[in-house]
């Protein structure tokens, strides 16, 4: 398998999900993990969905991130057809604010799990996918540990800015950004 074979498959029901899914794409880029992006609708292109889910592991994909909104059947149906781990991203919706998507994705029956992240939180889906890969890739694991350290450091820096500036000035500066 060449090094640029995608390890993470990022699929979504519509191109209208793409702006949300940029969060997962950005994480793959940040960790230099190869990924592929595909629009696959459980309802509009069901046969394509079946084909993708059945063959992803044969093409070298290790984790699938599947996003959908409303009657969000894509993640669960893909999970039922693949031996790979599937991470579901509920897309926020106009009428029900993504509660419909969340419930559709998270309430899977015993035996067919989908690891569901918060509504719209594609960044966490990307991170979870990277962490799954990292469990068998020491270099990637080190990158994940560095990411955690950087994230803790950024909180500490914010705290020290609050202490130096005071809360009111801190808020005023943030509002200027």
Binding site for ligand RP5 (CB under 6 A): 12-14, 16-17, 41, 68-70, 91
Buried b (16+ CB within 10 A) or exposed e, 58-87: eeebbbbbbbbbbebbbbbbbbebbebbbb
Closest C-alpha among 120, 74, 117, 85 to residue 8: 85
CB nearer to ligand RP5: pick between 88 and 126: 88
List CB contacts of 51: < 8 A, sequence separation 6 or more: none
User: Residue 16 or 97: which CB sits closer to ligand RP5?
Assistant: 16
Q: Residues 142, 26, 75, 105: is their CA dihedral positive or negative?
A: positive
Q: How far is the CB of 73 from ligand RP5 (least distance, A)?
A: 8
Nearer of residues 41 and 137 to ligand RP5, judged by Cβ: 41
Distance in Å, CB of 72 to ligand RP5, minimum: 6
What's the closest the beta carbon of residue 39 comes to ligand RP5, in angstroms?
Answer: 9
Beta strands in 21-75 (DSSP E): 35-39, 63-69
Nearer to ligand RP5, 32 or 103 (CB): 103
Shortest gap between Cβ of 124 and ligand RP5 (angstroms)? 18
């Amino acid at each position: 398998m060449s090094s640029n074979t995608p390890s993470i498959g990022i699929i979504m029901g519509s191109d209208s999900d793409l702006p949300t899914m940029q969060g997962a794409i950005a994480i793959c880029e940040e960790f230099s993990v190869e990924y592929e992006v595909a629009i696959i609708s459980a309802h509009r292109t069901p046969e394509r969905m079946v084909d993708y889910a059945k063959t992803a592991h044969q093409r070298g994909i290790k984790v699938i991130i599947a996003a959908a909104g409303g009657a969000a059947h894509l993640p669960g149906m893909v999970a039922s057809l693949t031996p790979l781990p599937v991470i579901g991203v509920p897309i926020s919706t106009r009428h029900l604010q993504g509660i419909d998507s969340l419930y559709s994705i998270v309430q899977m029956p015993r035996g067919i799990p989908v690891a569901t992240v918060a509504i719209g939180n594609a960044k966490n889906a990307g991170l979870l996918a990277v962490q799954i890969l990292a469990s068998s890739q020491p270099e990637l694991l080190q990158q994940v540990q560095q990411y955690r350290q950087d994230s803790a450091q950024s909180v500490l820096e914010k705290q020290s800015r609050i202490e130096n500036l005071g809360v009111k000035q801190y808020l005023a500066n943030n509002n200027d950004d």
